[in-house]
């Protein structure tokens, strides 16, 4: 399988309480999240509506809340955890190299 690893952001720029939004030309934006020393990358746009998950709070249990209707997703698995979110968000494989977060944008 083809992998496309892309350097997204410095680890220092990712806060624990909010995701960091990564805009991409011609592709949906991504969200980079942090739980302690671990980083996670998901699609930024909620699957319930057009909300940016980077505008929602990240809870210590690893869920991010959508700013529109308060549904949540697990940032580790992409699984919907709270109504009205029911469709998982896409997640990406992550590597941290020399203080930067990379993601494999070819893989779900
Ligand atoms: Fe995200 Fe409705 S748009 S919960």
> Could you report the per-residue pLDDT of 34-74, keeping only the tens digit for each?
999 999 999 999 999 999 999 999 999 999 999 999 999 99
CA of 48 to the centre of ligand 1 (A): 4
Nearest atom, ligand 1, residue 85 CA? 4
CA of 9 to the centre of ligand 1 (A): 26
What domains, with CATH codes, occur in the chain?
Answer: 5-104 (2.102.10.10)
Best CA proximity match to 11, nearest among 40, 50, 53? 40
Distance CA 108, CA 88 (A): 11
What are the two backbone dihedrals, phi and then psi, of residue 16, each rounded to the nearest 5 degrees?
-80, -25
- Residue to probe by mutation, ligand 1, list 42, 47, 51, most atoms within 8 Å of CB: 51
pLDDT computed for residue 107 by the predictor: 57
Classify each residue of 58-91 as buried b or exposed e, where b means 16 or more C-beta atoms within 10 Å of its C-beta: beeebbbbbebeebbbbbeebebbeeebeebbeb
């Amino acid at each position: 399988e083809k992998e496309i690893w892309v350097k997204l952001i410095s680890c220092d720029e990712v806060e624990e309480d909010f995701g960091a939004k990564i805009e991409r030309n011609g592709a949906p934006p991504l969200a980079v999240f942090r739980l302690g020393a671990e980083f996670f990358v998901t699609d930024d746009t909620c699957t319930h509506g057009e909300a940016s998950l980077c505008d929602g709070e990240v809870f210590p249990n690893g869920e991010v809340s959508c700013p529109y209707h308060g549904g949540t997703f697990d940032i580790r698995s992409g699984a919907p955890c709270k109504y009205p979110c029911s469709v998982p968000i896409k997640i990406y494989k992550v590597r941290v190299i020399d203080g930067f977060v990379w993601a494999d944008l070819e893989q779900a």
